[in-house]
């Protein structure tokens, strides 16, 4: 299962590194390339809950295989994009189907891992699962830089051998595949797909359309309104897509909230740290990937430790430790960004990574252990939907903060070199959009006072970008501080056996019914 989901984790970061080459060869605009990146995240967010439910109804092995095939076929087609005028449409469509494949694959794979390990060993098992697969996200920039030196198309084709091995291992693992004879809640699936997709789209496009745009708020408010309708509908239907009764358990709700605030920082830090390394530190894509390894050194170690704490003491200690370490790590890291030294930052990057490592596996595992009225597929679908939604919000909000802060600082730098105020703000806005949109931010060429001022100011602009990123990293520290306040509300003590305790109170008929719903994977 780890091998199967490896593709989805690597793909979250590998495309950003190759973005300048894709833009150059295919003649895409910065906003067009942003749509290529967003299409994957939009589809992932929209269909995660559906993927978890289908794992229950069709059997996890079938859904893992289906998700893997959809993902790898879409990857091949992304790599085969023609250079004609419809290249952008081609990439957006097949990046979206890639996201669909990942949304089917990940909840089903996670449900298998949860089902085959007993409660007392589940924390360590999922710590290994999240630790290894999460570390693969750091491999994306390294692999992307190396493959892009050959051809950017290889970043998609590299999924082929991984998928082949994953399918072979899935066959050899002989995963049991019991299905549940229940109908799929098609109405609920459509509602959550529209609601998640629209609201995530609004957050993603806020930096392009502007927070004062009617389109931005129409997507966000409209999407949230559809999600509200979805929740009301799910409470009334006899076979819901998501069993919302799991949120009656305070521990489950706290787990979901802590995951939300942790993911505001976890996925966005890849993007912002990578771009910071390339712009402010003048690092190559490969060096930017190595820079992220500092973060993952702390993450990998702490994720294993957090799993052991969960098994012995429960989730609360791990969540509290993780939020504190993460908040302190991101705050200290933010303070060192303006030193413009990669090697001086590694202790703080590792500390921030350790904080996230202490949170992800314990919170996800504890949520599964306590969700006694829902199946593993449903619960993993819920937790992964929360994680991806938070990542989209974090990218949008922090991206907007970075763009505004960068614009103000670059405008001040240009004005100090004699560029008129209006021109300085216009040029600064374009520079900020290019850098934060992952365009190729090279030193401008040509004549004219503005171009001359820009070339003279490039060293200052690198510092401007570092200072702007400080706001982003302090924001991540604040998000984890809020997560700590949520963790304080988590019930104390180790209670992974709650499901078993409930089973002891059930009648034979109820117990058999529950076993058919929740333990059918074993």
Residues 6+ apart with CB under 8 A from 69: 101, 163, 167
CATH architecture of 2-184+241-405+465-518: Up-down Bundle (1.20)
pLDDT tens, position by position, 264-310: 998 788 878 878 888 888 887 677 777 888 888 888 888 888 878 88
Buried b vs exposed e over 192-217: b needs ≥16 C-beta within 10 Å? bbbbbbbbbbbbbbbbbbeeeeeebe
Alpha-carbon gap, residue 305 to 359, rounded angstroms? 10
Alpha-carbon gap, residue 468 to 462, rounded angstroms? 10
**Crossing angle of helices 346-370/285-313, nearest 10°?**
40
Q: What sign has the CA pseudo-torsion 336, 393, 68, 134? A: positive
Shortest CA distance to 349 belongs to which of 374, 323, 331, 373?
Answer: 331
Question: What are the CA-CA distances from residue 49 to residues 115, 188, 384 (Å)?
Answer: 18, 10, 8
Token pair for 17: 């590194």
Alpha-carbon gap, residue 233 to 109, rounded angstroms? 28
pLDDT tens, position by position, 110-147: 878 877 887 777 777 877 887 777 666 666 666 776 77
**Whose structure tokens read 């949109």?**
437
Alpha-carbon gap, residue 136 to 139, rounded angstroms? 5
Alpha-carbon gap, residue 439 to 409, rounded angstroms? 19
Q: What is the pLDDT, as a whole number, of residue 459?
A: 65
Q: What is the pLDDT, as a whole number, of residue 433?
A: 62
φ/ψ of residue 506, rounded to 5: -85, 150
Mark out the alpha helices in 117-181 (DSSP H runs).
119-148, 154-157, 159-173
Q: What is the pLDDT, as a whole number, of residue 137?
A: 66
DSSP 444: P
pTM of the model: 0.78
Identify the segments of the chain with pLDDT beneath 70: 12-13, 16-17, 30-31, 134-142, 145, 177, 207, 285, 371-377, 419, 424-459, 492-522
DSSP 149: T
CB 220 within 8 A of CB 202: yes
Token pair for 261: 């605030």
Q: What sign has the CA pseudo-torsion 376, 377, 380, 381? A: negative
Q: What is the pLDDT, as a whole number, of residue 267?
A: 79
């Amino acid at each position: 299962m780890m091998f199967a989901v490896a593709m989805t984790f690597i793909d979250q970061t590998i495309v950003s590194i190759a973005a300048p080459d894709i833009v150059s060869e295919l003649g895409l605009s910065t906003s067009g390339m942003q749509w290529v990146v967003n299409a994957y995240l939009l589809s992932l967010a929209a269909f995660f809950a559906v993927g978890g439910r289908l794992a229950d109804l069709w059997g996890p092995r079938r859904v893992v295989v289906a998700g893997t095939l959809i993902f790898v076929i879409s990857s091949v087609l992304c790599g085969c994009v023609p250079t004609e005028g419809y290249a952008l449409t081609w990439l957006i469509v097949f990046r979206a189907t890639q996201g669909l494949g990942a949304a089917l694959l990940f909840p089903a794979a996670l449900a298998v891992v949860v089902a085959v390990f007993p409660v007392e060993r589940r924390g360590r098992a999922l710590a290994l699962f999240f630790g290894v697969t999460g570390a693969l996200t750091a491999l994306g920039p390294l692999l992307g830089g190396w493959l892009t030196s050959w051809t950017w198309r290889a970043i998609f084709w590299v999924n082929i051998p991984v998928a082949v091995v994953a399918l072979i291992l899935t066959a050899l693992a002989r995963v049991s595949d019991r299905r549940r004879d229940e109908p799929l809640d098609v109405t609920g699936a459509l509602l959550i797909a529209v609601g998640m997709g629209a609201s995530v789209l609004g957050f993603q496009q806020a930096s392009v359309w502007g927070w004062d745009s009617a389109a931005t708020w129409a997507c966000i408010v409209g999407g949230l309104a559809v999600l509200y309708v979805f929740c009301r509908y799910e409470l009334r239907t006899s076979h819901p897509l998501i069993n919302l009764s799991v949120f009656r358990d305070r521990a489950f709700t706290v787990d979901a909230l802590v995951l939300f605030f942790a993911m505001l920082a976890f996925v966005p830090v890849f993007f912002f740290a990578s771009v910071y390394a390339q712009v402010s530190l003048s690092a190559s894509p490969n060096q930017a990937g190595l820079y992220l390894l500092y973060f993952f050194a702390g993450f990998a170690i702490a994720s294993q430790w957090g799993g052991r704490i969960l098994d012995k003491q429960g989730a609360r200690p791990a969540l509290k430790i993780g939020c504190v370490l993460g908040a302190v790590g991101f705050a200290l890291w933010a303070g060192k960004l303006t030193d413009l030294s990669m090697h001086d930052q590694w202790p703080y990057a590792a500390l921030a990574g350790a904080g996230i490592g202490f949170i992800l596996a314990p919170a996800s595992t504890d949520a599964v252990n306590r969700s006694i009225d829902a199946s593993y597929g449903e619960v993993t679908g819920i937790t992964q939907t929360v994680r991806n939604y938070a990542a989209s919000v974090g990218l949008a909000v922090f991206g907007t903060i970075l763009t505004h802060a960068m614009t103000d600082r670059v405008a001040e730098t240009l004005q100090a070199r004699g560029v008129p105020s209006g021109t300085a703000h216009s040029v600064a806005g374009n520079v900020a959009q290019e850098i934060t949109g992952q365009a190729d931010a090279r030193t401008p060429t040509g004549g004219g006072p503005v171009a001359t001022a820009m070339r003279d100011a490039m060293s200052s602009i690198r510092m401007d970008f570092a200072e702007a990123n400080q706001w982003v990293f302090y924001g991540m520290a604040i998000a984890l501080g809020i997560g700590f306040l949520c963790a304080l509300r988590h019930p104390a003590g180790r209670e992974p056996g709650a499901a078993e305790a409930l089973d002891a109170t059930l009648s034979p008929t109820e117990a058999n019914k529950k076993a058919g719903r929740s333990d059918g994977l074993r």
